Amino acid sequence: MRIEVGNPRTDSSPVKPFPSFFLALWFASALPSPGADLPFQSQNPPAMQPIASRDTPAYRAARKFLRGVNLGDYLEAGPDWAIRVSAEDIRQIKAQGFDHIRVPVGWHRYSSPAPEFQLSREIFGKVDFVVTNALAHGLAVLINIHHFREFDADPAGSADQLVAIWRQVAEHYKDSPETLAFEVLNEPHDKATTAVMNDIYPRVISEIRKSNPSRTLFVEPGNWGNIPELQNLVLPPDDNVIVSVHCYDPFHFTHQGTSWGGPDVKVTGFRFPGPPETPLTIATNVQAAPWVHDRVKQYNTQPAGNNPVSATAFREKLRQARAWSDHYGRPVHIGEFGCYYKVDAESRTRYYEQFRKTAEELGIGWAIWDWSANFRYWDREKQQPLPGMREALFGQPSNP
Where on the chain is the footprint of ligand BGC (CB under 6 A)? 7, 9, 72, 187, 336, 369, 374-375
Other C-beta atoms lying within 10 Å of the C-beta of residue 43: 8
Among 227, 318, 313, 226, residue whose Cα is nearest residue 270? 313
Closer of 48 and 247 to ligand BGC (Cβ):
247
Among 205, 75, 246, 220, residue whose Cα is nearest residue 152? 220
Q: In DSSP terms, which residues pair with 103 in a beta bridge?
A: 143
Least distance (Å) between residue 320 CB and ligand BGC: 20
User: Where is 136: in which H helix or E strand?
Assistant: helix 121-136
- Strand 378-379 to 384-385 pairing: antiparallel
Q: In DSSP terms, which residues pair with 141 in a beta bridge?
A: 101, 180
Closer of 72 and 155 to ligand BGC (Cβ):
72
Closer of 215 and 252 to ligand BGC (Cβ):
252
Least distance (Å) between residue 120 CB and ligand BGC: 22
Q: With H, G, I as helix, E, B as strand and everything else as coil, classify residue 337.
A: strand
Least distance (Å) between residue 309 CB and ligand BGC: 17
Closer of 246 and 315 to ligand BGC (Cβ):
246
Least distance (Å) between residue 229 CB and ligand BGC: 15
State the Cα–Cα distance between residues 337 and 247, nearest whole angstrom.
Answer: 5
Closer of 16 and 319 to ligand BGC (Cβ):
16
Other C-beta atoms lying within 10 Å of the C-beta of residue 53: 9
Cβ partners under 8 Å of residue 125, min gap 6: none
Closer of 59 and 369 to ligand BGC (Cβ):
369
Least distance (Å) between residue 318 CB and ligand BGC: 18
Least distance (Å) between residue 72 CB and ligand BGC: 6
Are the C-beta atoms of 218 and 142 separated by less than 8 Å?
Answer: yes
Least distance (Å) between residue 245 CB and ligand BGC: 12
Q: In DSSP terms, which residues pair with 70 in a beta bridge?
A: 102
Closer of 369 and 371 to ligand BGC (Cβ):
369
Among 210, 229, 231, residue whose Cα is nearest residue 221? 229
Alpha-carbon dihedral sign for residues 210, 72, 266, 1: negative
- Strand 100-103 to 180-183 pairing: unpaired
Alpha-carbon dihedral sign for residues 300, 304, 307, 310: positive
Burial of residue 383 (CB within 10 Å: 0-12, 13-18, 19+) is exposed
Closer of 58 and 359 to ligand BGC (Cβ):
359
State the Cα–Cα distance between residues 400 and 397, nearest whole angstrom.
Answer: 6
Closer of 166 and 251 to ligand BGC (Cβ):
251
Least distance (Å) between residue 342 CB and ligand BGC: 12
Least distance (Å) between residue 248 CB and ligand BGC: 6
Are the C-beta atoms of 209 and 171 separated by less than 8 Å?
Answer: no
